[in-house]
Structure 1
């Protein structure tokens, strides 16, 4: 007999309720993750309506296949991986870019978080945030995506490697290169603090 898993975190309990067919738990998962998934997806394909449709399709697929799912505490990681895989297939099918180009990099990946309201910041802080955003977007696309998944979504390097379908050591190497590059342009401690402050992600309305 399979040993029963002990579920202790609220997120894990919600996931198990969802697997068991609880529609309220499904709605809660959707509301908790929809916006973050949209913001990640928009960085890969900058089409607001397409991304919203894709995120909804990810959740619909989950609901219809919930009996095949297993217990996990890494729910956001699982959803990010599912969405990215779907978007990669769309890009390949639409042939907007060649698979050879797509495989090593996602050329359109772009940071687009909302900066803190300048009225609440000193002139120096506002300049630092603006410079940080420019410095991040100057990184190669793969490095940007790794930084985004690590600092904005709190994924481990192993999880990032799984989401992006690349080697763990490659992820670590790219992360080190990105941080080294940022360190040359901005105070790295300040950069990390500013990254962690940026929780008002958005999908542009136009």
Structure 2
């Protein structure tokens, strides 16, 4: 059974079988890839586009009723898919260009941030034990002043004072080290 192009020039209907599909694929795939490449200028994308066109053709074969030349149908499908690819690529490039460069984190930023975190931890470690405990429960465990007071068996006023004194101390500690 040879590859006869005129065999596919008649109206194409849903009696499309695997053998016919393979013949069609082998006959037109290289030309369709070349056509898609003329539009996209991307060899990999061109092959992907043509393969997708053939996949859609195979999946839709039961409902298929092409009136006219199948090659013209495939050309049009490749053209539309190639143009969609270009639109998608253009949109992707535009989005990437809009992302500010400063959003990228460099090693120095990470090092400086870690140094600041370490220094803040040193200042917290210098707090008196009870103040440190209250401050950590408040800021790092997210407990409310009432919850801290209940856990530690003390008044809310004492908890408020310890948090306030801890914050004052941390500000002073950071100012002395020129961290603020």
Structure showing greater relative contact order (alpha-carbon pairs closer than 8 Å, 6 or more residues apart): 1
TM bucket normalised to smaller? 0.3 to 0.5
Q: Which has the larger radius of gyration?
A: 2
As a proportion of its length, which structure holds more helix? 2
TM-score, normalised with respect to structure 1 = 0.39
TM-score, normalised with respect to structure 2 = 0.44
